[in-house]
Amino acid sequence: MPELSVYCEVLDEPAQAAALSYRLLDEARARSARILCAYVLPGDVLALGRYHVIPPAEPRGDVVLLRRLGGGRPAPLGEGYVALALALPHRAALTGDDPAAVAPEQVLNRAVRGLLGALQSLGVTGYYPGRDRVTVDGRVVAALGFEIAPDGATLVEACVAVGRSFAEVSAFADRADPSGVVPVDLLLPEEATCIADSGTRTPDLDEFTAALAIGYAERLGLDVAMSEGLRAPAPDPGWLESGRLASHLDRHAAARDMLGVIEVYAARAGDHVGEVRLCGDLIAASGTVARLEAALRDAPIDRGELCRRATDAVEGRGDVLLGVRSVATIGELVYTACAT
């Protein structure tokens, strides 16, 4: 029976979150271990996905930015919310030893089952309708994302609304990013909820972590061990800074797709594409995105050629690009950005 080590941690600042996730991935690789950490942060935090452009360094009021290792839409964190980081040696490690037993697009479906079990034990009936969100009675209570590293190590992330509504993400975005660099859909109060509003109480971090242990044991048949001794890592501000947009990427195109907005920033070099950066609300393995960007770099500015290169970059590799109906869309966006 696979074993899952479960930790909880109180972090002082968002810059520790990426360092924590990297540490968990390293541990999962080194020990072929399955590790789940639930952590909390103080204040109000806007958690951006790996592929969002980080807004320019400017006063952002009292909301602090966090950049997750995985993709997905913006989500609220901080006081009243709990973040989850589930590190696995490969994408199928929750159910067996064969990485190929779970397709990349099935990762969230497997990993979310323990969270649904935790909600159930807290008196809340959660539902996973697919893609990247968990709902209660049709109202958003959590957001999901993942990263699959080139060596197969997998990190699944969740931002869970415990004592404050998930709808706060809209207000957090307005305060943290007044210029609107990050596309965020307005989430109305009636479209979101939290555990406190949907259940009978507001669980603290220890109670919520214990509920997670129950959920993963019951829903996935894991041998769960509540663990101690996970020391909070030093902050890593460089991870956030590396998400800012380079000034030479002055061409831009965007399209609304399955999860939200997909964006391309590019530079033009004569009649060819220069550098390309794929951004937005997509969920994908970082290697997939890097391969796409490399395939489109230096390509002629021709719609058909760009679409062909985008499609060929991921065809037959077992990659996944959640949030995009067709990989050719990426080629279309690069053409739109560079053709005018």
C-alpha–C-alpha distance, residues 329 and 224, integer Å: 42
C-alpha–C-alpha distance, residues 215 and 290, integer Å: 35
C-alpha–C-alpha distance, residues 94 and 156, integer Å: 11
* CA distances in angstroms from 48 to 60, 72, 77, 169, 184, listed in the order given: 14, 8, 10, 10, 10
For residue range 70-94, what is the model confidence (pLDDT) as tens digits? 999 999 999 999 999 999 999 999 9
- Quickly name the fold that domain 251-339 has: Enolase-like; domain 1 (3.30.390)
Residue 320 has pLDDT above 90, yes or no: no
Residue 58 has pLDDT above 70, yes or no: no
pLDDT band at 317 (very low <50, low <70, confident <90, very high): low
For residue range 211-234, what is the model confidence (pLDDT) as tens digits? 999 999 999 999 999 988 777 788
C-alpha–C-alpha distance, residues 188 and 139, integer Å: 10
CATH 3.30.390.50 domain span(s) along the chain: 251-339
Express as a percent the part of the chain with pLDDT over 70.
98
Asked which of 91-105, 129-143, 263-277 is least confident by mean pLDDT, the reply is 91-105
Comparing CA positions, the residue from 144, 145, 146, 170 lying closest to residue 44 is: 170
Q: Confirm if 153 and 29 have CB atoms less than 8 A apart.
A: yes
Comparing CA positions, the residue from 320, 123, 115 lying closest to residue 216 is: 115
CATH 3.30.930.10 domain span(s) along the chain: 3-241
Residue 1 has pLDDT above 60, yes or no: yes
Q: Confirm if 43 and 79 have CB atoms less than 8 A apart.
A: yes
Residues 246-272, mean pLDDT to the nearest whole number: 95
CA 187 to mean position of chain CA atoms: 18
Which of the listed CATH numbers 3.40.50.300, 3.20.20.30, 3.30.930.10, 3.40.50.12280 matches domain 3-241? 3.30.930.10
